[in-house]
Chain A
Amino acid sequence: SLDSPASIARSRIMFAVRAVRPLARAAPAVRAFSEAPAASVMTLNFSLPHMNIYADKTVDRVIIPGAEGVYGVTAGHTPIVSQLKPGVVEIVHEAAGEAEKYFVSGGFALTHDTSVTDISAFEAVKLDDLDAEAVKTQYSAAASAFGSAAEGSAEKAAAGVQMDTAKAMGDALGVAL
């Protein structure tokens, strides 16, 4: 399903905001405390179709690129289920530690009221493994395909998605496209 222009714009803004406040959490309106007894730690299950990245891993918090906007999850977060858009999943293992970043292509994330978060992505790679040059080439190829495709055709839609994904990868790497 195609995102509405509003949600695309909102997510672009969320990206920009997040770039300025790297360790800030998501908008307070989203966060609430669950009715269930809050667990003191959160557990992460991060799986791909062909392998499991983390199973029952205790982490401090996870920042998830939801389709409607990026949000963060810690222990005691309200249960939430969201589709993912191409973006970065940041896993912070220790409270003061560095985030481990994975670029995901899409999927969904589900947080239970037991502070267990399941992230199921179709493809995930470590951010360090992305090649900035390849991203630039991909973006320009997709942009030219988008420009030359007929309005409303499948090729234009596909090229649009490729552009968005390349843009997301570029944003994640800090590369200007």
Chain B
Amino acid sequence: RDFPRSTMFAKALVLALALVGSNAFAPGFQSGFAGTRAVQHTSNRRITGPMMGGNEKQLKSRIASVTNTRKITEAMRLVAAAKVRRAQQAVLATRPFSETLQSVFSGLISRLGQESIDLPLLESREVKKVTLVVMSGDRGLCGGYNSFIIKKSEARIKELTEQGIEVELVTVGKKCVGYFAKRDTPVLKAFDMGQAPTADEASKISDMLLASYLAGETDCVEIMYTQFVSLIASNPSVRTMLPLSPSGIEAEGDEVFQLTTKDGQFSVESESKPPAEAADFPKDMIFEQDPLQILNAILPLYINGQMLRMLQESVASELAARMQAMQAASDNAKTLKTDLSREYNRARQAAVTQQIMEIVAGASAATE
């Protein structure tokens, strides 16, 4: 009699795993699942007949646990949506600063004109070693987000090592920290990503990279992050942070996203903004410091801003991926509940039919 129950349990486990993805046992979520209260089958039913068999009880408790799972995944989806909105507000808040920087930078470049700008952060050198910064999330349950960026990083590492270039890593986000810690490529430093990156955190990373670059310990710094495209799509991409390219800084337009609703569904509206206009430096402008010195001072600020922006975009992409994953899980839970309910009703009806047949058979035997 134990045999059918254990296969039922095994099936329930496999289905639950399929629902939630292989990250079901990520810390923090397991308690939600394991602690699900199995709703007791109450006896306020019209027919309290004899033995229904263990099948119906199992099905009833499964239906209850699937309903609970659906509530949890729905809640996680809405929490992720709220956080996406906050993440996008944070991105918007950084724009005035970077726009001013961009405008002053372009103005200074045009003011310096044909003079060759000899700044350590702008000159490119022969690349023998590359520092690759990988940005992933801290937690799972976000679909393919973490594995996409890790795969892309591995491909880039392979590409570089095939060219004979040494690679070292800076990992941001517990998921890639854990992954790369067990692999061959040396990790310079590991950071946590968090859900709301601050300018302080970004500057810790970029100051370390700047110091390393200026000391000659590395020849190029590349960042692997996930660009936010829409709620469904995001784009793991690589971007060279150091050495800086003046034309890159000047020409960079921007795309701003806003999480809104359309027809009762979440959607994202994007708006592209052109690069900031070069600041006008009239002839009577007083330069308290040499323009070149000011330019040199602006570059680290620009790099800090870029780092913060990439962290924020990665977080926004992670949250959007989590929204999608939880949406899929909720939909699966809904379908599963419908199927289970149908099966439960069929089993119940079969039991009732069986009872009736037994009664009728007994009655007809008695009357003979």
Report A's interface with B, CB cutoff 8 A: 1, 30, 32, 34-36, 45, 47-52, 55, 66-68, 78-83, 107-108, 110, 112-113, 118, 120, 122-123
Contacts and interface: CB of A to CB of B under 8 A. Distances in A.
Contacts of A83: 288-289, 293-294, 297
Given A80-B286, A83-B294, A113-B282, A50 B100 contact: no
6 contacts: A49-B94, A49-B301, A80-B288, A81-B294, A108-B298, A120-B100
A120 B101 contact: yes
B285 A81 contact: yes
Contact of B93 (A36, A50, A78, A82): A50
Interface in B273-292: 279-282, 284-289
Q: Chain B CB within 10 Å — which of A34, A47, A80 has the most?
A: A47
Contacts of A113: 280, 282, 284-285
A143 B180 CA distance: 40
A120 B301 contact: yes
B321 to A, nearest CB: 24
B234 interface: no
B285 A120 contact: no
Contacts of B97: 47-50, 52, 120
A80 B289 CA distance: 10
Interface string B290-315: 00011011100100110010000000
A75 to B, nearest CB: 16
A155 to B, nearest CB: 13
A81 B94 contact: no
B96 A52 contact: yes
Given A49-B305, A50-B93, A68-B289, A79 B284 contact: yes
B288 A52 contact: no
A36 B301 contact: no
B251 interface: no
Contacts of A67: 288-289
A54 to B, nearest CB: 10
Given A49-B199, A110-B104, A35 B296 contact: no
A67 B287 CA distance: 11
Interface residues of B, number: 32
A37 B298 CA distance: 29
Given A1-B296, A78-B284, A112 B94 contact: no
A79 B282 contact: yes
Interface string B192-214: 00000011001100000000000
Contacts of B288: 66-68, 80-83
A107 B98 CA distance: 12
Given A30-B286, A79-B285, A82-B289, A108 B297 contact: yes
Interface in B71-127: 90, 93-94, 96-98, 100-101, 104
B286 A81 contact: yes
A136 to B, nearest CB: 23
Contacts of B284: 32, 34-35, 78-79, 113
Given A49-B305, A50-B199, A1 B293 contact: yes
B36 to A, nearest CB: 40
Contacts of A45: 96, 100
A113 B107 CA distance: 14
A122 B280 contact: no
Contact of A80 (B93, B98, B198, B285): B285
A51 B305 CA distance: 11
A51 B280 CA distance: 24
A29 to B, nearest CB: 11
